Structure 1
Amino acid sequence: EIVLPVHFYPDGDWKFTGYAGLASHGGTLGLIIALAIFCRKTKIHYLDILDMMGIAAPLAAGFIRLANLMNSEIIGLPTNVPWAFVFERVDMLPRHPAQLYEAIAYFLFFLIMVGVARYKKDNYGRGFYFGLCITLIFLFRFFIEFLKERQVDFENVLPIDMGQILSIPFVLLGLYFVITKRKKAVR
């Protein structure tokens, strides 16, 4: 449906599904592969570009989650908190605005990334900012999933949902870069 946004039914009928939703894990993986190809052609060090993107990516992720909020996508579980949202496109239940929680967190992560880059940039090696970025985003993503509706039926039999399962490798990769790319402070 990425190329042709149409769902075909067994009886031969079809329905235009439109271009809706985002797949952040697949998008992140695709971006990493595209950057590898770009860096190979331009001879720019791969981790230099990933670090630059790691500083800006939380800002983009925050805006993506605001778009999800406006499109009533990736909705939260029903709740009685006073700031609950009613997603009329879905139902009339007050729900956690999980997309808004994520957007706020990602904007905060952007400020953290800029602050660390501005004030401590000489303390870190190539790949540190990339690692910090994906650790922050996907660790938060893992925990916020507990406040979201399951996206597909098969997740109902799993102890954690697919978003959480797919976040784990990104968190581990990020932690690897954060731990291994931190330089010793020069005295």
Structure 2
Amino acid sequence: MNHLLAFVTWNPNPELVNFFGISVKYYGLLWGIGILLAYYVVRYQYRDKKIDEKKFDPLLYYCFFGIFIGSRLGHCLFYQPEYYLLHPIEMLLPIKMMPGGGWKFIGYQGLASHGATLGLIIAIWLYVRKTKMNYIDVVDMIAVAAPITCFCIRIANLMNSEIIGKVTDVPWAFIFVREDMQPRHPGQLYEALAYLLLFFMMLYLYRNYGKKAHRGFFFGLC
């Protein structure tokens, strides 16, 4: 009974605000923040290495569309193919087709991080073909920034009460009300903290040893 008093009852509203029927959710917002933070970290590295900024400008667009399309298709095709193959327009548009006709704006209901990774790999390949840069040089710079994006994504998972941990009786267990009301390890929080520590480690290594590191060093660590 004493343990029950210490557990965290977790049931946040996934919607941050609603503007005239348009829902802004923590999930999408945190994904966006994660990509934006990575953008600034990679831009810092381009400037530090004195790489022509004209080569940097297209990187954001390649990465954004690669991550978005990959994460969305990854969710739809890996987790709910039976639904989305019958409703392909809902894969890329934030709407739901209504049975009686018409549509409703619902926002994007799922983004898969492993799909985002695959989309990013393809996007970088297209980017280096255009800019004539070395693929490993680019992924090294992105690897330094990637953990901060992953941190934001895991916090987004926490706000969505998804990717939950195993049942436990530790005092800091979370009771996910939208799941099964059993105390569980907050797996998303563990991963988020690990990614945050990894980000600061990568940033420290880059600032102190980046110019001496062999090609592929940061990508290998990440």
TM range (shorter): 0.5 to 0.7
Q: Is the aligned partner of 1:99 residue 2:188?
A: yes
Q: Is the aligned partner of 1:44 residue 2:130?
A: no
Q: TM-score, normalised by structure 2?
A: 0.52
Aligned to 1:67: 156
Aligned to 1:161: none
1:79 to 152, 168, 172: 168
Deviations, residues 31-50 of structure 1 (Å, cap 9, x unaligned)? 01111101101112222211
Aligned to 1:115: 204
CA displacement at 1:103 relative to structure 2: 0.2
Give, as a single letter, the amino acid of the residue that structure 1 aligns with 2:213: Y
> Structure 1: how far apart are the matches of 2:107 and 2:130?
35
Label 1:28 to 1:121 Cα distance change in 2 as closer, same or farther (>3 A): same
State whether residues 21 and 68 of structure 1, in contact with CA within 8 Å, keep that contact through their aligned partners in structure 2: no
> Structure 2: how far apart are the matches of 1:105 and 1:21?
23
Q: TM-score, normalised by structure 1?
A: 0.61
Give, as a single letter, the amino acid of the residue that structure 1 aligns with 2:179: V
Deviations, residues 126-181 of structure 1 (Å, cap 9, x unaligned)? 22111211xxxxxxxxxxxxxxxxxxxxxxxxxxxxxxxxxxxxxxxxxxxxxxxx
Q: For this pair of structures, how many residues does the alignment match?
A: 129
| Percentage identity across paired residues of the two chains | 58
Most deviating of 117-126 and 70-79: 117-126
Give, as a single letter, the amino acid of the residue that structure 2 aligns with 1:62: F
Aligned to 2:76: none
Deviations, residues 30-76 of structure 1 (Å, cap 9, x unaligned)? 10111110110111222221111100100010010000000001111
Q: 3-state SS of the aligned residue for 2:150? A: helix
More strand by share: 2
Aligned to 1:11: none
Taking the TM superposition and a 5 Å limit, the aligned residue runs for 1:169-184 are none
The answer to which structure, 1 or 2, has the higher relative contact order (CA under 8 A, 6+ apart) is 2
Aligned to 1:13: none
Most deviating of 40-49 and 77-86: 40-49
CA displacement at 1:119 relative to structure 2: 1.3
> Structure 1: how far apart are the matches of 2:211 and 2:132?
23
State whether residues 63 and 103 of structure 1, in contact with CA within 8 Å, keep that contact through their aligned partners in structure 2: yes
Question: What root-mean-square deviation, in Å, do the aligned CA atoms of Structure 1 and Structure 2 show?
Answer: 2.5
Aligned to 1:142: none
Structure 1 segments unaligned to the other structure (5+ residues): 8-15, 134-187
> Structure 1: how far apart are the matches of 2:174 and 2:110?
19
Q: 3-state SS of the aligned residue for 1:86? A: strand
2:214 to 111, 125, 128: 125
1:57 to 140, 146, 151: 146
Give, as a single letter, the amino acid of the residue that structure 2 aligns with 1:97: P
CA displacement at 1:3 relative to structure 2: 3.1
